[in-house]
Amino acid sequence: MFEGEYDLTFEEESQIEQPANIYSIVRTLDFIEWAYNTGHIDKESYMEHSNVILDQYRTCVGAYQDKFNGIDAFAQKYGLSEFKLGINRLKQGAVQISSNTNTVKFYFYPIFYSVCLNLSTHSEI
């Protein structure tokens, strides 16, 4: 597939891999948020998968920190601005399920879904 050999230093590999990892994380979290908001995965799976990926994000950002200017700048640079659910989850942080009410904390209901369902008041949502 590739012609010739490429001998990259660890630093050069990291400059390629870390942005690619963060890109993948945004896309994956966006899908998980969508899946949870539309009822395709349960609360426990949502929490488990989201938190694992958030840990990976923190690790990637730590390794890429000197070149990382925040998730909004990264999203704009790499064309991820449309993946708002994933970006919002990264900004909000870890997902937790309250033990006494079995509800998800940090949960938000995207306005997009309200419009799609023709809901207009808070009580309908």
Q: What is the CATH number of the domain that holds 40?
A: 1.20.1440.200
Predicted pLDDT of residue 29: 95
Which of 14-18, 81-85, 112-116 has the least mean pLDDT? 112-116
Res. 117: pLDDT tops 60? no
What's the total number of domains in the chain?
1
Predicted pLDDT of residue 113: 45
| pTM to 2 decimal places | 0.68
Tell me which residue range forms the domain holding 24.
Answer: 10-116
Half-sphere CA count of 5, side-chain side, radius 13 A: 2
Within a domain: 124:
no
Name the percent of the chain lying above pLDDT 70.
71
Q: ∠ CA 80-119-113 to the nearest 5 degrees?
A: 20
Res. 95: pLDDT tops 90? no
Contact 47, 104 (CB under 8 A): yes
Mean local confidence (pLDDT), 43-71: 87
**What is the average pLDDT score of the chain?**
77
Mean local confidence (pLDDT), 19-47: 92
